[in-house]
Amino acid sequence: MTAAITTHAPVASRWRQYLVLTKPRVVQLIVFCAVIGMLLAEPGWPRLALALPAAAGIWLVASAAAAFNCLVEQAIDRKMARTAWRPTAKGTLSSTQALVFSALLGGAGSALLYWAVNPLTMWLTFATFVGYAVVYTVVLKPLTPQNIVIGGASGAMPPVLGWAAMRNDVGPEALALCLIIFLWTPPHFWALALYRVEDYRRSGLPMLPVTHGSDFTRLNVLLYTLVLFASTLLPFIIGMSGWLYLAAAVVLGLWFIAYGWLLWRDYSDALARKTFRFSIWHLSLLFAALLADHYLLAWLQ
């Protein structure tokens, strides 16, 4: 038994390293938002024959983008406490291994989306991969402190992908969801960057707290929470949702604004951490409320 454990442990460890490359927590949120788009695109329960391969394909391509990001940023990751443990940063997985792994995941996911879902979803997902892995990671992130804002467009695409998978088109409802995530991204990441500023300074990345200071960044967080609040009202305004969602959007939006206000007026690393954590809950609960409202309206009708 001891010999068997010794033999298989390195294999299990190697697979865990590959799993780390896919950034599971980030990808889970991406797939969650895509599934929300799928569910909202259908008046009743979605067609599983489309929804399951769509979710799997988006998961594979998103994981490929995460692995490619780890490959490109391995030198930067080594300088940051938050990322120094990644296998590419530690050197436990080589650049070739990470590249092949990313290519296999991306190829498998694209093929699944093209043949089992529809070509539009495949091309939109591929464009999202290019936007995140190449345009954002390679070009924007090391070039401008507005990298999060501009690059947020690719991160906002999951609901559009889910919608396209079900309807084979991109409607205004999907674009409204995309806008919400696009405007949510800057205050979410800047809250993290505020208490990780020394990490980003060592990495050489021009994140906003490094280039423009804490005060300017905190003001931007507050301003974005205000604009985000307005955007979260769009689903109700365009008739996509009802009063249940509106109530949740108002409560969650005002709560996020309160965090932004406190962060601006009286900064602390602990408060920045709380703001970052709340931002994740904000998006998750907002979309959960949208989904609950959607099925409530369908049931009432």
pLDDT of res. 301? 58
For residue range 161-219, list pLDDT tens digits in order: 999 999 999 989 999 999 999 999 999 999 999 999 988 888 787 888 989 999 999 99
CA dihedral sign of residues 283, 133, 274, 193: negative
**pLDDT at position 297:** 66
Model confidence at 78: pLDDT above 90: no
What integer pLDDT is reported at residue 9 of this predicted model?
41
Place of tokens 């990808």: 27
The model's pTM: 0.87
Give first-to-last CA distance, the chain, whole Å.
61
Task: Give Cα separations from 142 to 13, 95, 214, 229 (angstroms).
Answer: 32, 20, 19, 29
Task: Name which of 44-58, 67-81, 138-152, 220-234 the model is least confident about.
Answer: 138-152
Question: Given pLDDT bands bounded at 50, 70 and 90, which one contains residue 300?
Answer: low
pLDDT score at 205: 78
Share of the chain above pLDDT 70, in %: 94
Which range (37-46, 105-114, 155-164, 208-217) has the least confidence?
37-46
Q: What is the pLDDT of residue 12?
A: 57
Give me the mean pLDDT over the 43-62 stretch.
92
Whole-number average pLDDT of the chain? 89
* Per-residue confidence band for 7, with pLDDT thresholds at 50, 70 and 90: very low
Band (6; pLDDT cuts 50, 70, 90): very low
User: What confidence tens digit (pLDDT) does each residue in 259-272 have?
Assistant: 999 999 999 999 99
- How is domain 1-170 classified at the CATH fold level? Tetracycline Repressor; domain 2 (1.10.357)
Per-residue pLDDT at 81 exceeds 80: no
Instruction: State yes or no: pLDDT of 121 exceeds 90.
Output: yes
Instruction: Locate 182 and state its tokens.
Output: 């696009």
Q: How many degrees, rounded to 5, is the angle at CA 159 between CA 135 and CA 252?
A: 105
